[in-house]
Chains A and B, each alone.
Chain A
Amino acid sequence: MASEKELTLLKEFTPQIEHTNIKQTVWMIFLAAVIVLGFYALYVQITEGHIVTGMRDNVVWGIYIVNFIFFMGISYAGALISGTLHLFKAEWRKPIIRIAEFITIIALLIGPCYILLCIGRLDRLYYLVIFGRIQSPITWDVIAISTDIFGCLIFLYLALLRDIAAIRDFQEIRIPKWKRKIYTFLALGYTGTPEQKERLHKATDIMAAMVIAIAVIVYSVLAWIFSVTLQPGWHSTIFGPYFVIAAVFSGCGVMIVVMWLFRKIYHLEKYITIKHFVNVGVLMLILAALFGYFTFSDYLTKWYGSERNDELLINLLFDKYYWLFILSNYIGVLLPMIVVGIKKFRTINNITISAIIVILALWVNRYLIVVPTLESPYLPIQDSRPAWIFYNSTWIEWALTAAGVAFFALAFTIGSKLIPIINVSELAESPQEEEKILE
């Protein structure tokens, strides 16, 4: 049975679920158009071959792989924030966990698509399963990512279950019959008996722990794809943990930006307060410090006792990629530390701006890991065609990147139309602690 508190909360989110206003419709049509453009780009790539991308024999992986790492990275936000905070019973998490879980699952659905875009023969994709070799890090990735998607879906579903049941039981909400039927089906007969509550709680605990572990594995495996090779700049023992830290870091950034957006658009000022921004901000600060430390260790050792090819790579990074390097590895690290670290600067907008910079910096950071290394191989690139020497991404690749971002936004918008963007049941559970949560 839904509590009094739950009903009031639900009432507040009813308009979002009942109606879609004109602004939102236009927004969704725009996103859909971007996605359609992406599909057109994909069609061109499939019919004309990978020659339409900026990738060539030396730089065989471009921004598709960067996007792959990036989206997998932000998917980590949910796993960490919702999983860890759930396990540590941090009460303040309650208004933001749904956002975190949405980020996780949506990003996780987009990420692997980008690796598919790099595959020359999509028609043979199933070979990965029927001829899979366990010796190959790509097979590790296939296993890890599919486990991750599965685990995260279960975790998200468990987290949604009580709210789905609440909407099903909420008579005042005016939704079409078929929609209510879907809610009824998805609620799996959950009515909130003590036994059900106990079971759900246990299952969520287990999945929270699992999701954290799986996410660490997925991200390490992803890093190993690079570090198992002999390429200068990739062949690094630090890559596993470095990628995990970078992932959570970027996830925190996306978390803050999404929190800001929903707070503004859905008027959630009452639920998402400065406390949440500061708390996630502090998390981002710690991760910025760790990320900066890993980055520094990695490049220091490459630069100080440099082999010839490390030297070439470092020279390239500090020459052609100078400003990108400064943005990703200096500004992206120092800005969140300053903004969150110094009390005077610690406002919602400031934290959000630094989070945007962090997201950009981390995307660029991945670009600087993937591309310059491939541009400075052991044997110098001797070619007369500029396109085959340096990587220049094409509109095809950018259209598909935009499509990924658009899908992320679209899925989020649709998601928030189906289920309250704030976990109503969790929030209603501890009214006496409300002040502590919202402050």
Chain B
Amino acid sequence: MKSLTLNPFPLKEATDGQPKKSSRRDFLKKSLVAGAGVVATGGLIEAYLDTSAAESGEKVKVLTTTGEIVEVDKSQIKYPRISRKESHQGIPGKKFVMVIDLARCKNARACVEGCQKAHHLPKDQEFMKVYLLQDTENTAPYWFPKPCFHCDNPLCVSVCPVGATYKRSDGIVLIDNERCIGCKFCITGCPYSTRVFAWRHYEEFDEDTQPYSPEASSPGVEGTVSKCDFCPDLIRVGKLPYCVTSCPMGVIYFGDIDEDVVTNGAETYQFSKLIRERAGYRYLEILGTRPSVYYLPPVERQFPVDRGFDGLNEEVEKRYESTPYVQKQRRK
């Protein structure tokens, strides 16, 4: 299986569309065929292609493990789901990191919507949340997109009584909702209010007809906990997480800390240099959880903070009503 892994970062962003549906068995069968001595590049690529699907005519270039660039049809690319057992293994040789540029965020909420849609989440459950923060009265308010921090010292993992949530070698913290008993201890363990609980069954859960995989965090199950997963199912096929590709401002960078590279799809930076030059930091470092998500402070901003209120629906706008910033604006 390892030898089949495509480069996680394709030369050209492959597609923005929804993952093609395909059964896991189908995928396994094809990869077995591919593994059984098919040496040709085409054979290796085939494992990730659903040749029975109609060609859209739109071609994308992908890099194979043998270093060749091949052109394939966009609609034929398969995004297979890894089984629960396999999902315990991290993607070999990787250590993922996210950088969020607060200077660019204007609360467009595209990351939230993209994530919700792709993970088949109801309104009550947001893996990505956008906060309006203001550290003190005299400091500037700023928009703060918050995914799961995929901590290197994750308390949620420590406290889980059944091992339903786990830390992988590639740094990703996942939840297996077929193991989760719903005790919610991890929710109280997480100091960043990242985890959400399925308080009832939601219709959105039924939209996903593919078999469940912790890497996809979908379909959701009533009575279990879920959260942002860094989209390892996309990373495996060389795509960036949904929030990264949905953001119109390029706020969110994703990459590998060992390779020292992060990209938002359009721009690619050397991670260490970016953090050094832009004084990147991690939120609430004092708690000792060692997050994998870094923030670039909101300096020389591209948008005034008030732009974040533009075009918000009433429900979302109401969320920020109790913040000191909005209260102050009101008084003026």
Q: Which A residues lie at the B interface, using CB under 8 A? A: 48-51, 55-58, 60-61, 118-121, 124-125, 127-128, 131-133, 135-139, 142, 225, 228-231, 234, 374, 377-384
Contact = CB atoms under 8 A, between A and B. Distances in A.
A138 B185 contact: yes
Contact of B287 (A118, A230, A234): A230
A383 B323 CA distance: 11
Contacts of A118: 183-184
A60 B181 contact: no
Contacts of B199: 49-51, 55-56
A229 B201 contact: no
B160 A136 contact: yes
Contact of A136 (B159, B179, B196, B200): B159
A116 B309 CA distance: 42
A128 B182 CA distance: 11
A48 to B, nearest CB: 7
Given A57-B193, A121-B223, A136 B158 contact: yes
B193 A58 contact: yes
Interface in B291-332: 315-316, 318-323
14 contacts: A49-B199, A50-B197, A60-B184, A61-B188, A120-B225, A133-B163, A135-B158, A137-B159, A229-B191, A230-B189, A231-B188, A380-B133, A382-B132, A384-B315
Interface in B47-84: none
B92 to A, nearest CB: 25
B86 interface: no
B184 A61 contact: yes
Interface of B is mostly: loop
Contacts of A57: 187, 193, 195-197
Interface of A is mostly: loop
Interface of B: 129, 131-133, 146, 155, 158-163, 179-185, 187-189, 191-193, 195-201, 222-225, 284, 287, 289, 315-316, 318-323
Contacts of B316: 384
Contacts of B197: 50, 57, 60, 120
Given A49-B200, A137-B185, A378-B192, 12 more contacts: A49-B198, A51-B199, A58-B193, A120-B223, A121-B181, A136-B161, A138-B161, A142-B161, A229-B159, A234-B188, A378-B193, A379-B131
A49 B193 contact: no
The interface centre, meaning the residue of B198, B223, B320 with most chain A CB atoms within 10 A of its CB, is B223
Contacts of B132: 382
Contacts of A139: 161
B222 A131 contact: no
B223 A229 contact: no
Contacts of A48: 200
B98 to A, nearest CB: 17
Contact of B159 (A121, A228, A234, A377): A228
A86 B160 CA distance: 39
Given A121-B181, A138-B185, A384 B319 contact: yes
B182 A120 contact: yes
A119 B188 contact: no
A120 B185 contact: no
Contact of B223 (A50, A133, A135, A230): A50
Nearest to B314: A384
Contact of A121 (B160, B193, B224, B318): B224
Nearest to B192: A379
B290 to A, nearest CB: 13
B191 A133 contact: no
B318 A384 contact: yes
B159 A128 contact: no
A348 B200 CA distance: 50
Nearest to B320: A382
Contacts of A55: 199
Contacts of B163: 131, 133
B162 A49 contact: no
Contacts of B183: 118-120, 138
B319 A124 contact: no
B159 A138 contact: yes
Contact of A132 (B133, B161, B323): B161
Contacts of B131: 379-380, 382
A49 B222 contact: yes
A380 B159 CA distance: 23
Nearest to A140: B161
B131 to A, nearest CB: 6
Nearest to A56: B199
Contacts of A60: 184, 187-188, 197
Nearest to B200: A49
Given A60-B187, A384-B315, A133 B182 contact: no
A382 B131 CA distance: 7
A377 B162 contact: no
Contacts of A125: 181
A274 B86 CA distance: 68
